[in-house]
Structure 1
Amino acid sequence: MFRSFRPVFKFALLAASALSVPAFAQDAAWAPEEGEASGRKDDTIVVYGSGIDRNTAATGLDLTPRETPQSITIITREQIDDQAASTVADVLEYTTGLSVKRVDRGRNLLSARGFDITAFQLDGLPFATGNVGLEETSTAIYDRIEVIRGATGLLQGAGEPSASINMVRKRADARELTGEVNVEAGSWSHVSGLIDIGAPLTADGSVRARLVAEVYSQDAFVDIESSNGFTLYGTIAADLGPGTRINAGASYQRDERDGVMWAQLPYWYADGSRPDWSRSKTTGADWNEWDTTEKAAFVSLEQDLGGSWQLRGDVSYFEQVEDSKLIWLSGNPDRETGLGMEIWPYWYLTKPKQWSANLRVKGDYQLFGRRHELVVGAMYSHQKGGWTNRDPDPASVAPVGDFHAWDGSYPEPTWGDRYRMSGFGTTEQTAIYGATRFQIIDRLKLIAGGRLSSWTRDEEEALYTPEPYRIEHKNIFTPYAGLILDFNNFLSAYASYTSIFNPQTARDRTGRYLDPVEGDNYEAGLKADLMDGRLRASAAVFRVEQSNFAVPDIDPETGDPYFIPGTTDVASRAAKGVVSKGYELEMQGEPLRGWDISVGWSHFKAKDPDGIDVQAHQPRRVFRMATKYEFGGALGGFSLGGSLRWESRPPQTAKNPATEAIEPVGQKSYALVNLMGAYDLTEALSLQVNVNNVFDKAYYNTNSWFGGFIYGEPRNARVTLRYGF
């Protein structure tokens, strides 16, 4: 029923005052004070160092970014609105140190410091990302997004030493009726609508509710592709008694995408020359569908125990249904005739489910005449997954024909019965963890902690796993140590260390499962709160050492991949002694009243012992910059902003089909420029215009080794009319 839906209105409640936090201040965690009307504008300027930017994303302790011995970026609700970011992936594209690339037109692949990002959290509880990742969820339901770069095993457990992305959902905190109404329209027939209302349910405001509902519909710059969907979210908060609080909520997101391009555009013609495909060129068919549904629910209970001590329990659930009926085109077409492409129809269905629970207690204690902090907790996660497929009747699969003339009008084949293909099984992880911050002397603090984990994977029988198996790792200890030295009231130096443990289900060319990834993560840097906390700057260096890191197993002589026996999956090999090292620079804040700026630079190298680049499809140098200025005087109410993204050429190569020479195929270095302008028509009504890729740069936006590429989006615009009350 939603495929033909064309919404007209978009409604939303401001989670933060439109003037309260620098629009592009990525390092300020802001949340409305208890009882504050979160949907109204006022003249309050919340800047860095104001005492409300503490978070627990790195260690579980309440720390400001300068007190955190890792690189941390917090993207506020206002920045999300200013960028007109529809999905979490849109937000992360302009986050320091992160690379966001498309695998195809249905999925993204995120990376940082040379490693894939697989660690996601919802309100601090870890969840595994799926085939269509959590980064594709709508931003409508989130208050802010916290990114901790580097290894985060203390709270996350098993995972990559790249980054952890914590998506913090909006809370029911309004003690009077507040809300916002938006209407949005843009390029490629984009229209969307969202309602976000908060209100007390009791006269004294002890019980509060919040409702978010969003709908959208749009076409795409790629031929025959269109999508539409909706998101629903509701949450209730209640003060049950002195020191007792409960929050509960649920969300439902449905996205229906038609004509989606799965396979990439080929790098070469059969004669080894490079084609110049139109950016609208597709490899999809008009009957392609890539539909997803995400369901989530949570409940958290907090109890004050006296003094500074607090007990908190959280339980959260996430479920996804992905139904994708697609075709994969492969090969290199003849330059003249367009012939030579092969086709593979595929009908994928998966329904992964995840539970996560956490119980923790934290507070202060006195020792040796000084006050210290402690957090202790226990965590449990349960994942159930697997996917099925339907193969086409070979006799009903038509040839591709002339790829030059391909327009998606390809006949749908006859499908066979559905069968279990792979991934059926259960993954469980249990852990106890703890961390303490010792105040050694007035200006020197030590954060020390550890996690004791057990990880089990029980795989069931399916096509790719003809025999059930169990992978089990017990009593894995993950240490964490961080040292912070305050030179004065605004400048600190830090150093941190943690280990890495990541079980993997990747298999080699013989079908054997690789051993777990193990290694060490080191980071050191400087952090400064300048101009009375209005401007924050940081510099970090890092080094990651890993063994058994899974990389695609490619024949060095031919450039062809090896495959897992009996499958079409590329085999992996365990790279010994992989080292990633580099540095990051970041500055955010408000150097002058009304002028907000965020600048970030990251640079890394990642190689195996033979000097071969690991994750060669990732850019090694990335620059991010965003700025906004709010005018005063006669131009009061008007603001102008912009952003810049530059990336270096990744060291990616592939084999030329004609010469068999190994050639560079990564996107050459490029820059994208976006502009934003907004005007307050009245105190409650504002108009905002966003123009992305202003200079209409044509570029590859690909992060894969599948032998082809995906174009990035051409120039596009979006207009938002926002009314708050």
Structure 2
Amino acid sequence: MHHYPTGAFKAHPLMLAMAMLLPSFVYAETNENAQLPTITVKAADENQEKKAYTVKKTTTAVPLGLSVKETPQSVSVVTEQRMKDQGLTSLIDVADNVTGINVQRYETNRSSLHARGFQIDNYQIDGVPTRYDQPWSSGETVTSTALFDRVDVVRGATGLMTGPGNPSAAINMIRKRATSKVPTANLEVSGGSWNNYRVMGDIANSLNESGALRGRAVAQYEQGDSYIDLLKKQALTTLVTGEADIAENTVLSAGVSYQENKTDSPMWGGLPVWYSDGTRTKWDRSKTTSANWAQWDSDYTNLFADVTHSFNDNWNAKLSYSRGDRNGDSKLLFLSGYPDSNTGLGSGAFAGSYKVNTTQDDVSLQVNGKFGLWGQQHELTLGYLYSKQDFNADSRTADFGCGCVPSVDNFNRWNGNYPTPTWSATSFYETSNSKQNAAYVATRWTIIDPLKFILGGRLTDFEKTGAVVYTPGSYQLKYNNEFTPYVGVVYDINKSISAYASYTNIFQPQAEKDVNGTVLDPIEGNSTEIGIKSGWFDGKLNGTLALFQIQQDNLAQQAGIHENKEVYYRAAKGTESKGFEVELTGEILPSWKVTAGYSQFKATDVNGDDVNSELPRKLVQTFTTYQLPGKLNALTVGGGVNWQSSTYVMAGNPLGVSEKVEQDAYALVNLMARYQLTKDFSAQLNINNLFDKEYYGIFPAYGQTTWGTPRNATLTLRYQF
């Protein structure tokens, strides 16, 4: 096992704050006159909700607080209980198990998420759009689920709530809150394959006798090796948050979270697909291209606060502020070329180092209410959002002391021993600044009892300026009064089944330039969805059948290269994605929970050719748990299958021929079992990729691949009350 040096993590202020707050969190109410029965019933109800695979309300698609059945778009919810059952400890883990979502793992530290044929670029934390930069990778997709109560995913365009973005999906991470007035705790210790270990604590309680002041603290530390040679990781995650009833109808909530990731010997790029003679390679899954000195570290601090006031039973308002500060620092080695099958010679090397910072400030105001008209009750939401993002990336130059780049020895026997460079001071590489002002309105009208219309719109001012070291000059994108309409209709066929339809526009600014040096117009289009939804057992089991169609214009496509080697583009029309999704999630019986989804789409460009062919067109994602009856009720067993159809990319081989690189269809089988040793103490075993299936993700730009994770197991001991 790798021994991490003492002091690898400095005493961050959040850790000290947690240490000071912990004594207050274990405060137990001693007032003999407290209404214990009422508190007990409420706690029991909340406990049942926490064990569910669904939620009663969601606001990620439209801000009206509707149930999944009432929302006219495809919505998936991954609750905290499901994350525990499946052992989903990062955002990537969650995405891998959501209907219609595909994860492309380019290397060990970079991944991108996709839905309906397009990359997902709409991420939110508590409904606030948050910038994720996949090319720079400052720890975004490995965000720890220890911070969140659940993750909501809305597939399709979500411009009403997020503004600019792809018509793929929106991922909304709902942060844990200090709502409990009684002591609660979840303490976990786990160990698994490749010396991976994790400890996590999550405690909450009242901080005074009345319960008007509440606190919650979460801390997690994990470290481990990998199935990939040399690769080692460690991560620290903390959250401190509190709530205060500052008036009878006013609640103040505030907190801060921090996540720090340290990675030794990460890969930058993948393994070569071909040898120099054009024959295909077959590397061990442990093969790496990294050096023993490489590193890729990141940290993210997020401060947040909001005030919610209820004017009466029908109207309330919420004012929110958040600030995010994300940093990445890397020293990396990239190997390219095609090694000789016998000697292993022929690979080239490039050492790069980058320091990245992204800061984001967001202010939002939202007013929600209900009103009567024409003998029916209707809902209204008014909102305003201001967002400012500043991004900066600097680079360092590698000096190997020889005025050259050292050659790569036999790659067939590569063990990471490559000369360690001296790095220069940082210099400018890329910068951008963006601002968004948006106002939106959403209404739900009940025309007759079974028929409801959802009408909304968003007016957005968007501005972005930036510059890149390898492109002459700077660029500016500015669009005012961009209107995004939203129309939805839901008809209740009966108490359990409803039919729905929705329509919204797409607006996505882009920085690519045409042959004359003019920035292309924004991507525009529309997203349409129709379907049937069902809800049984008071919303504990939800089903969806959705058909969708997405059309885009002005999508940038490479059109040529200037004499200075700068690429120029043209705006293409007619990009289209269409398909359907089926999902069933929730509780069939009190002891039997299930989530099962199937998705299928076809995405083509204006010529009818496949768009993003590396994305599987068909996906199956299933998981279920069952608590045994009678004397065996201490045992819960579960499992699932994730299957995807075949994929391919076209890449140039060493002989100068464009060749199809394919990944056959494959299925991964996952199992779990949990034994309740006592009322509060349990042991859980998760086994992923049970049959040790070999599969890989394609890195199409360079004809490289990365292997997927082999069979692995994790044992978790959990104390929870």
User: Would the TM-score normalized by the shorter structure come out above 0.5?
Assistant: yes
* CA pair 587-5 structure 1, distance change in 2 beyond 3 A: farther
Please name the residue that 1:445 is paired with.
452
Please name the residue that 1:64 is paired with.
67
Structure 1 residue 656, shift from structure 2 partner: 2.6
Count residues in correspondence: 688
Q: Distance in 2 between matches of 1:473 and 1:262?
A: 36
* CA pair 215-45 structure 1, distance change in 2 beyond 3 A: closer
Q: Distance in 2 between matches of 1:647 and 1:694?
A: 16
Structure 1 residue 269, shift from structure 2 partner: 0.9
Please name the residue that 1:676 is paired with.
672
Q: Distance in 1 between matches of 2:206 and 2:465?
A: 46
Q: Distance in 2 between matches of 1:70 and 1:489?
A: 19
- Residue type matched to 1:321 in 2? N
- Residue type matched to 1:670 in 2? Y
* CA pair 197-397 structure 1, distance change in 2 beyond 3 A: same
Gaps of 5+ in 2: 9-18, 23-37
Q: Distance in 2 between matches of 1:275 and 1:563?
A: 35
Matched, 1:113 2:130: no
Please name the residue that 1:588 is paired with.
585
Q: Distance in 2 between matches of 1:685 and 1:417?
A: 52
Mean Cα deviation higher: 152-161 or 405-414: 405-414
Please name the residue that 1:317 is paired with.
323
Please name the residue that 1:597 is paired with.
594
- Residue type matched to 1:100 in 2? V
Instruction: State whether residues 39 and 180 of structure 1, in contact with CA within 8 Å, keep that contact through their aligned partners in structure 2.
Output: no
Instruction: State whether residues 118 and 160 of structure 1, in contact with CA within 8 Å, keep that contact through their aligned partners in structure 2.
Output: yes
Instruction: State whether residues 250 and 308 of structure 2, in contact with CA within 8 Å, keep that contact through their aligned partners in structure 1.
Output: yes
* CA pair 625-581 structure 1, distance change in 2 beyond 3 A: same
Q: Distance in 2 between matches of 1:589 and 1:275?
A: 44
Structure 1 residue 652, shift from structure 2 partner: 2.0
Which of residues 206, 214, 220 is equivalent to 1:214? 220
Matched, 1:398 2:406: yes
Q: Distance in 1 between matches of 2:108 and 2:569?
A: 25
Which of residues 331, 336, 355 is equivalent to 2:361? 355
Q: Distance in 1 between matches of 2:470 and 2:541?
A: 53
- SS at the partner of 2:146? helix
Where do residues 317-716 of structure 1 align in structure 2 (5 Å cutoff)? 317-393=323-399, 395-422=403-430, 424-460=431-467, 462-507=468-513, 513-530=519-536, 533-550=539-556, 553=558, 574-658=571-655, 660-702=656-698, 704-716=700-712
* CA pair 127-532 structure 1, distance change in 2 beyond 3 A: closer
Q: Distance in 2 between matches of 1:618 and 1:305?
A: 48
Structure 1 residue 616, shift from structure 2 partner: 1.5
- SS at the partner of 2:662? coil
- SS at the partner of 1:203? coil
- Residue type matched to 2:259 in 1? Q
Instruction: State whether residues 53 and 78 of structure 2, in contact with CA within 8 Å, keep that contact through their aligned partners in structure 1.
Output: no
- Residue type matched to 2:359 in 1? K
Structure 1 residue 534, shift from structure 2 partner: 4.1
Map Cα deviations across residues 102-138 of structure 1 (whole Å, 9 max, x no partner). Answer: 1211111100000100101110111111232532211
* CA pair 699-363 structure 1, distance change in 2 beyond 3 A: same
Instruction: State whether residues 52 and 81 of structure 2, in contact with CA within 8 Å, keep that contact through their aligned partners in structure 1.
Output: no
Mean Cα deviation higher: 612-621 or 516-525: 612-621
Structure 1 residue 348, shift from structure 2 partner: 0.8
- Residue type matched to 1:459 in 2? G
* CA pair 287-571 structure 1, distance change in 2 beyond 3 A: farther
Structure 1 residue 515, shift from structure 2 partner: 2.4
Structure 1 residue 2, shift from structure 2 partner: 9.7
Q: Distance in 2 between matches of 1:697 and 1:268?
A: 22
- Residue type matched to 1:440 in 2? I
Map Cα deviations across residues 377-400 of structure 1 (whole Å, 9 max, x no partner). Answer: 111110000211112237252111
- SS at the partner of 1:136? coil
- SS at the partner of 1:81? helix
- SS at the partner of 1:231? strand
TM normalised by structure 2 equals 0.91
* CA pair 140-45 structure 1, distance change in 2 beyond 3 A: closer
Q: Distance in 2 between matches of 1:537 and 1:176?
A: 34
Q: Distance in 1 between matches of 2:334 and 2:517?
A: 24
Q: Distance in 2 between matches of 1:509 and 1:78?
A: 53
* CA pair 46-215 structure 1, distance change in 2 beyond 3 A: closer
Instruction: State whether residues 59 and 154 of structure 1, in contact with CA within 8 Å, keep that contact through their aligned partners in structure 2.
Output: yes
Please name the residue that 1:238 is paired with.
244
Please name the residue that 2:164 is paired with.
158
Structure 1 residue 232, shift from structure 2 partner: 1.1
Q: Distance in 1 between matches of 2:46 and 2:7?
A: 31
Instruction: State whether residues 271 and 289 of structure 2, in contact with CA within 8 Å, keep that contact through their aligned partners in structure 1.
Output: yes
Percent of aligned positions with the same letter in both sequences?
Answer: 40
Structure 1 residue 92, shift from structure 2 partner: 1.1
Please name the residue that 1:201 is paired with.
207
Instruction: State whether residues 53 and 82 of structure 2, in contact with CA within 8 Å, keep that contact through their aligned partners in structure 1.
Output: no
* CA pair 37-346 structure 1, distance change in 2 beyond 3 A: farther
* CA pair 709-260 structure 1, distance change in 2 beyond 3 A: same
Structure 1 residue 521, shift from structure 2 partner: 0.5
Structure 1 residue 45, shift from structure 2 partner: 9.5
Q: Distance in 1 between matches of 2:40 and 2:108?
A: 43
- SS at the partner of 1:536? strand
Q: Distance in 2 between matches of 1:574 and 1:635?
A: 63
Structure 1 residue 173, shift from structure 2 partner: 1.2
Instruction: State whether residues 344 and 412 of structure 2, in contact with CA within 8 Å, keep that contact through their aligned partners in structure 1.
Output: yes
TM normalised by structure 1 equals 0.91
- SS at the partner of 1:155? helix
- SS at the partner of 2:696? coil
Structure 1 residue 303, shift from structure 2 partner: 0.7
Q: Distance in 2 between matches of 1:238 and 1:501?
A: 39
Q: Distance in 1 between matches of 2:215 and 2:42?
A: 13
Q: Distance in 1 between matches of 2:454 and 2:604?
A: 31
Mean Cα deviation higher: 337-346 or 394-403: 394-403
Instruction: State whether residues 451 and 489 of structure 2, in contact with CA within 8 Å, keep that contact through their aligned partners in structure 1.
Output: yes
Q: Distance in 2 between matches of 1:250 and 1:444?
A: 42
Q: Distance in 1 between matches of 2:562 and 2:596?
A: 42
Instruction: State whether residues 613 and 651 of structure 1, in contact with CA within 8 Å, keep that contact through their aligned partners in structure 2.
Output: no
Instruction: State whether residues 648 and 663 of structure 2, in contact with CA within 8 Å, keep that contact through their aligned partners in structure 1.
Output: no
Q: Distance in 2 between matches of 1:42 and 1:311?
A: 28
Which of residues 255, 259, 263 is equivalent to 1:253? 259
Where do residues 248-327 of structure 1 align in structure 2 (5 Å cutoff)? 248-327=254-333
- Residue type matched to 2:91 in 1? V
CA RMSD of aligned residues (A): 2.5
Structure 1 residue 357, shift from structure 2 partner: 1.4
Structure 1 residue 571, shift from structure 2 partner: 6.9
- Residue type matched to 1:84 in 2? G
Q: Distance in 2 between matches of 1:6 and 1:393?
A: 29
Q: Distance in 1 between matches of 2:466 and 2:174?
A: 32
Q: Distance in 1 between matches of 2:127 and 2:275?
A: 48
Structure 1 residue 528, shift from structure 2 partner: 1.0
Instruction: State whether residues 266 and 295 of structure 2, in contact with CA within 8 Å, keep that contact through their aligned partners in structure 1.
Output: yes
